[in-house]
Structure 1
Amino acid sequence: MTGRRRRFLPRERTSWLGAASGAAAVLVCGAALVLWPGSSGYRALAPDCARSELVVAGGTDVSLNNQRRQLIRDWNAGGNPHATLVEVAESTDSQHSQIKAMEESGGCGYDVLVMDNTWTAEFAAGGYLRPLDDIGRRSDFFPVALETGQWHGKQYAVPFNVDVGLLYRRDGVQAPENWSNLLDSGAALQLGDYEGLTVNALEAVWNDGGGRLLTGEEHPDQEKLRKKVFPALERMASHVREPRSARWPLAASRSYDEQKSMEAFLSGAPLMRNWPYAFSTLATEPGMRAGKRLRYAVAALPGTTVLGGQNLAVSKHSPHPDAALKLVEYLSGTDSQRLLFACGGFAPGRYSALGLSPEHHAAADVKVMTCSAAEQALKSGGGGSDGAESEEVELDEAQLTDLGKAVVQALDRAQPRPVTPHYSTFTGTFRGCVQKIFDRSGTDARTFAGAVGRSLDGRTASC
């Protein structure tokens, strides 16, 4: 690849969920601010329908060593229509509002959209996306991830990367057997006031009697919200208020996002719940290595986890829909997915990127490429990578295989968040209610059930 891979510290990273810390770029008067690949700054881009280049809009590239940006460079170096990456914001909430503003206005500023997988229903129902039913090799995608790009029987988006909750433990720390043990063990979670709180709270519900509530298109009735969901959140709150682990109080997680969780893990937290990208990021820290050996291990979370990740879609208003579809196929292709996994730390959406197939996809069958091999494969497949020398000791095949196995095991028991065109209303209401439960602010089961139930239908509510 052009340039050297550099060491990237966790404090320089923001997760795909991201803390709501301000946008890297904003929409102003119908224009976007663009990070041009290979540059160090942003400049204004007017939505020009007569432009010849493709515009890819998404959040800040948080893949290790900026592999998403590199894939755009490789696409451009391969003689394809020139593409520009627009990094509209760091936080998911800001990404959503800014991309939606362009699509809702009918603007032709974007061709390919990098979307949180919870946006599909809203964007498809709003008429912002082109169907992708004819995209090739759909059977190679993990089915549970592919389904997040569907709405009313049509495929509107395909996986770019998947995310599942993983358990990280320091050397000498025993893995908890279930979610309650995890809370008792002093784990660093993500309980700050952002999407991470919704994710962690849903996992608590699902692993404490909530079963398949608040997942998919079937929304629970008031009785189930009162009798199943609310009590599970109260029990989680009791762990937060009265931590069982004096070594690392769970209450500290109330200010954590993914980055702060990693900082806590580096500082001594025995366990951490985080996404797959944390595995590679932690490996860049000298304190987390003993020579080539890692001083931590990774596994699937005990029980059920949230299925996160980002999808690729083609804007309904793209002036170049055919070229945009080819770019989506390139970015979601096997070689690109291998590179994002081995070099960037993102879990792939395709079986083939982990050496699997729809017929043979057990975790024990995972076969991975190292970063160097993935770079060479992309180059051989027509990408623009030049295989530049790395300044880092890359993760070896055994380490990447451990990560791949953990991802596949977690995918087997992952569930999507609620599927609704009103997801942004739901998540804001839900996490506001969870905070009040944590704070003992007077919210009761009936109030909680009413507010959350209304939010799933897009009605403004609060606890």
Structure 2
Amino acid sequence: MKFYRAFLALAVGAMLAVAPARAVELSIVSGDTGNGIKVLREMLDRYQKQSGNKVDIVVIPPSGTDQFGQFRLWLAAGNSDIDVYQTDVIWAPQLASQLVDLTAATRDVVAEHFASIIQSQTVNGKLVALPIFTDAPALYYRKDLLDKYGAKVPTTWRELADTAKLVMDKERTAGNKDLWGFVFQGNAYEGLTCDALEWVRSNGGGQIIEPNGTVSINNRQAAAALDMVKGWIGTIAPPGVLAYQEEESRGVWQTGNAVFMRNWPYAYALGNSETSPIKGKFDVAPLPAGTGEDARPTATLGGWNLAVSKYSKHQDAAIDLVKFIASPEMQKYRTLRTSNLPTIKALYDDPDIAREQPIVPRWKQIFLNAAPRPSAVAKIKYNEASSQFWTAVHNTMSGDGSAADNLADLEARLTRLKGKGW
């Protein structure tokens, strides 16, 4: 009898040792643009077959500003319904305390990513999010229309305005009444901070808040850049651009109703899709420079990551999911389907990507030299600082105060926000 009980105990123990882990249900929240949600679902379907776990997507509006506000509410409430958050590159310092430290769990994979991107998601020595794609914007231009009128790809904002007006006027005279010269992200949200940082910095106007914490935005070059943009509204850019985010801009562009567009790389694959009216008719170039003494082409650094909520009831499974989506195989899949820029270094030499999405290898140096928003210096105050900045810019574009007055007021507001330090 003793032998039987001992044998039974060993048998049961062996069965438990080889029994598969019980499947769990996970949720991931994303507000991706374009066909990003569709592609995410395709990747999750693969993960479900591989892991046995079930994953639901909680879809929210694509505005980064709205997403950040909602994420903070959920995390502040200790919401355990969301396991994985898709986070903007600028949010790590602000959300770090409520995210799982991924350092140990990702030690085997972080070397595959660009070190600078991993560092951007590291707060106080803890990796709080794993990157899934990076971003740096492009100037999209209608190659067919520029060729038609013998125009060159602009390298300065002044050239862009002149070329946009030239092509727009000639096309409208020929009957294309819906064509505009330039569309971009002019709504009052985080996207406008990205656009406006490019206008200001490319015109020698600084970085809003410098790396040493100095509030630098109130200067002549910055004001000149915003006055320039104000002059675009209703001339080369539609009045409605003041309400455009990424998808509204792409909508005008992809229907063939704009000569130029500022947008992120995701719009490249969509513009060349089989049903796109502009398939094969456009190309991309670096954003133009301004005309100030320190003028230089500037692209704002973007990018998205996956973070695990510390309130998740299935943290190990959530980490496994994050590593799956961020893996070289899934990043390649995403890039081929969406033209998002991968964060895996080796993929920039992948021949399939170079053939299917030629913007990707061309954009490696542009994103490596892209300008970060001042989130690292402003830390937990960044969201409010950015809100103050985009409000001043939007007011100027809307005709509510001059650029000089709005920037002087912005400087005072940011100085008060800074207080004794960031």
1:135-168 per-residue CA deviation (whole Å, 9 max, x = no partner) reads 1322322234323312233321121221211111
- Residue 78 of structure 1: which of 36, 47, 50 is its match? 50
Amino acid at match of 1:55: S
Could you say if the C-alpha distance between residues 283 and 231 of structure 1 is closer, same or farther in structure 2, counting changes exceeding 3 Å? same
- Residue 153 of structure 1: which of 108, 114, 125 is its match? 125
Query: In the alignment, which residue of structure 2 is the partner of 1:42?
Result: none
Query: In the alignment, which residue of structure 2 is the partner of 1:100?
Result: 72
Q: How much has 1:228 moved relative to structure 2?
A: 5.5
Q: How much has 1:421 moved relative to structure 2?
A: 1.3
2:217 counterpart SS class: helix
In 1, Cα distance between equivalents of 2:53 and 2:80: 17
Could you say if the C-alpha distance between residues 52 and 234 of structure 1 is closer, same or farther in structure 2, counting changes exceeding 3 Å? closer
1:237-256 paired onto structure 2 within 5 Å = 237-240=229-232, 243=235, 248-249=236-237, 253-256=241-244
1:225 counterpart SS class: coil
- Residue 441 of structure 1: which of 397, 400, 414 is its match? 400
In 2, Cα distance between equivalents of 1:251 and 1:86: 33
In 2, Cα distance between equivalents of 1:99 and 1:286: 34
In 1, Cα distance between equivalents of 2:116 and 2:418: 22
- Residue 374 of structure 2: which of 418, 421, 428 is its match? 418
* Alignment partner of 1:227 is 2:254: no
1:244-393 paired onto structure 2 within 5 Å = 248-249=236-237, 253-265=241-253, 266-284=255-273, 285-289=275-279, 294-302=280-288, 303-355=297-349, 367-369=350-352
In 2, Cα distance between equivalents of 1:156 and 1:410: 25
In 2, Cα distance between equivalents of 1:55 and 1:231: 45
* Alignment partner of 1:452 is 2:414: yes
CA contact (8 A) 2:23 2:53 kept: no
CA contact (8 A) 1:209 1:232 kept: no
CA contact (8 A) 1:240 1:251 kept: no
CA contact (8 A) 1:209 1:228 kept: no
Could you say if the C-alpha distance between residues 242 and 114 of structure 1 is closer, same or farther in structure 2, counting changes exceeding 3 Å? closer
* Gap regions ≥5 residues in structure 1: 1-49, 356-366, 371-396
Could you say if the C-alpha distance between residues 406 and 192 of structure 1 is closer, same or farther in structure 2, counting changes exceeding 3 Å? farther
Q: How much has 1:109 moved relative to structure 2?
A: 1.8
1:325-350 per-residue CA deviation (whole Å, 9 max, x = no partner) reads 22111111100000111013322121
Q: How much has 1:271 moved relative to structure 2?
A: 1.5
RMSD (Å), alpha carbons = 2.8
* Alignment partner of 1:428 is 2:387: yes
Could you say if the C-alpha distance between residues 406 and 331 of structure 1 is closer, same or farther in structure 2, counting changes exceeding 3 Å? same
Figure out how many residues of one structure are paired with residues of the other and give that number: 359
CA contact (8 A) 2:206 2:217 kept: no
In 1, Cα distance between equivalents of 2:315 and 2:209: 35
Could you say if the C-alpha distance between residues 195 and 65 of structure 1 is closer, same or farther in structure 2, counting changes exceeding 3 Å? closer
Amino acid at match of 2:413: A
In 2, Cα distance between equivalents of 1:180 and 1:453: 32
Could you say if the C-alpha distance between residues 228 and 458 of structure 1 is closer, same or farther in structure 2, counting changes exceeding 3 Å? farther
Q: How much has 1:93 moved relative to structure 2?
A: 2.6
CA contact (8 A) 1:213 1:219 kept: no
In 2, Cα distance between equivalents of 1:228 and 1:131: 43
Could you say if the C-alpha distance between residues 128 and 184 of structure 1 is closer, same or farther in structure 2, counting changes exceeding 3 Å? farther
CA contact (8 A) 1:61 1:87 kept: no
2:53 counterpart SS class: coil
* Alignment partner of 1:178 is 2:140: no
CA contact (8 A) 1:129 1:316 kept: yes
CA contact (8 A) 1:184 1:239 kept: no
Query: In the alignment, which residue of structure 2 is the partner of 1:191?
Result: 186
Amino acid at match of 1:369: D
Q: How much has 1:229 moved relative to structure 2?
A: 6.5
CA contact (8 A) 1:230 1:448 kept: no
In 2, Cα distance between equivalents of 1:65 and 1:369: 22
Query: In the alignment, which residue of structure 2 is the partner of 1:131?
Result: 101
Could you say if the C-alpha distance between residues 299 and 147 of structure 1 is closer, same or farther in structure 2, counting changes exceeding 3 Å? farther
Larger mean Cα displacement after TM superposition, 332-341 or 111-120: 111-120
CA contact (8 A) 2:134 2:342 kept: yes
Q: How much has 1:51 moved relative to structure 2?
A: 9.6
CA contact (8 A) 1:183 1:239 kept: no
1:30-45 paired onto structure 2 within 5 Å = none
In 2, Cα distance between equivalents of 1:368 and 1:98: 39
Q: How much has 1:427 moved relative to structure 2?
A: 2.3
- Could you tell me the percent identity over the aligned residues? 25
2:301 counterpart SS class: strand
Q: How much has 1:129 moved relative to structure 2?
A: 0.8
In 2, Cα distance between equivalents of 1:405 and 1:327: 27
Structure 1 moving runs of 4+ over 4 Å: 455-459
TM-score (norm 2): 0.77
Q: Which structure dedicates a bigger proportion of its chain to helix?
A: 2
CA contact (8 A) 2:23 2:54 kept: no
Q: How much has 1:433 moved relative to structure 2?
A: 0.8
CA contact (8 A) 1:202 1:214 kept: no
Could you say if the C-alpha distance between residues 95 and 183 of structure 1 is closer, same or farther in structure 2, counting changes exceeding 3 Å? same
In 2, Cα distance between equivalents of 1:79 and 1:51: 8
Could you say if the C-alpha distance between residues 283 and 180 of structure 1 is closer, same or farther in structure 2, counting changes exceeding 3 Å? same
Could you say if the C-alpha distance between residues 457 and 305 of structure 1 is closer, same or farther in structure 2, counting changes exceeding 3 Å? farther
